[in-house]
Amino acid sequence: MLTRRLIACLDVKGGRVVKGVRFESLRDVGDPVELAVRYEHQGADEIVFLDISATLEERETLLEVARRTAERLFIPLTIGGGIRGADEVARALRAGADKVSINTAAVERPEVLSESAARFGSQCVVASIDARRENGGWRVHTHGGKEPTDLEAVAWARECVRRGAGEILLTSIDRDGGRSGYDLDLTRAVAEAVDVPVIASGGAGTAEHMSEALRRGGADAVLVAGILHDGMTTVTALKRRLAEAGIPMRLA
């Protein structure tokens, strides 16, 4: 039986892991390679590095971090942030990523999803969607949540899958960093609309939040960041709680 996944997410800037609230007020929380390996040992099912830097120099730094990580990490690694085209996907995969998440570039030029899927397979193309609640729906935002688009999140998720995305990483901007739980309505609306796995993101505070996202939200995986980096809890403890709640989990 396929288990549900707990994915540890590391926002990386200038080669360091940082954490912000609602995509802002960043602080340093550690070295990406060390944290990734620690989370693997705790039983994380996957690791995501999101490059939240703005410059090309820093992007090179992230690829270097990916290379060092891939030497020591034996669970899947996804890299996202600033990926513009299929050639950049190739570079990220070459550097040591197993999957690449694409956000702003897909909104600006959706063909990037189909081109990447044709070359590398849908299983390594993750469409990352940042959405904010608005008038009973959810509006897609780009550029790290700063720029509103004309896209509605559920329809956009469907379009991403139609174009070849093999997974949706769905972040609620409203909930990001708030630790008050995932946006379950958003998660469920997207999970029901697409046939690929949906990763719920934004708002993880407790194991109960994760359990709700997996059960009521219909997510296949939950993304966790801040509460791990702060040492408030561990992957091991969270997964044990989820297993006790009857959710199929891999226990390391």
Residue among 18 and 223 whose Cβ is closer to other proteins: 223
Residue among 1 and 56 whose Cβ is closer to other proteins: 1
CB of 25 to other proteins, least distance (A): 33
Catalytic residue among 11, 45, 51, 220: 11
Residue among 47 and 52 whose Cβ is closer to other proteins: 47
Task: Give the tokens for residue 97.
Answer: 């990523």
CB atoms within 10 A of CB 74: 8
130 as an active site residue: the answer is yes
Alpha carbon distances (Å) from 157 to 10, 106, 154, 241: 23, 11, 5, 30
CB of 51 to other proteins, least distance (A): 17
Q: In what helix (H) or strand (E) does residue 248 lie, and over which residues does it extend?
A: none
CB of 114 to other proteins, least distance (A): 12
C-alpha span between 185 and 178 (Å, rounded): 17
Query: Helix (H, G, I), strand (E, B), or coil: what is residue 169?
Result: strand
Residue among 61 and 69 whose Cβ is closer to other proteins: 69
* Count of all residues that appear for the chain in the document: 252
C-alpha span between 32 and 69 (Å, rounded): 8
Cβ contact 240:251 at 8 Å: yes
Catalytic residue among 51, 130, 174, 176: 130
Residue spans of alpha helices (H) in 25-147: 32-42, 56-72, 86-95, 104-108, 111-120
CB of 162 to other proteins, least distance (A): 13
For residue 80, list its beta bridge partners.
Answer: 50, 101
Residue among 70 and 245 whose Cβ is closer to other proteins: 70
Q: Are strands 77-80 and 99-102 parallel, antiparallel or unpaired?
A: parallel
CB of 82 to other proteins, least distance (A): 18
C-alpha span between 112 and 187 (Å, rounded): 24
C-alpha span between 163 and 217 (Å, rounded): 24
Residue among 129 and 151 whose Cβ is closer to other proteins: 129
C-alpha span between 222 and 239 (Å, rounded): 11
CB of 183 to other proteins, least distance (A): 21
Contact positions vs other proteins (CB under 8 A): 1-5, 40, 45, 67, 70-77, 90, 93-99, 118-124, 166-167, 195-197, 220-221, 250, 252
Give the residue numbers marked as catalytic. 11, 130
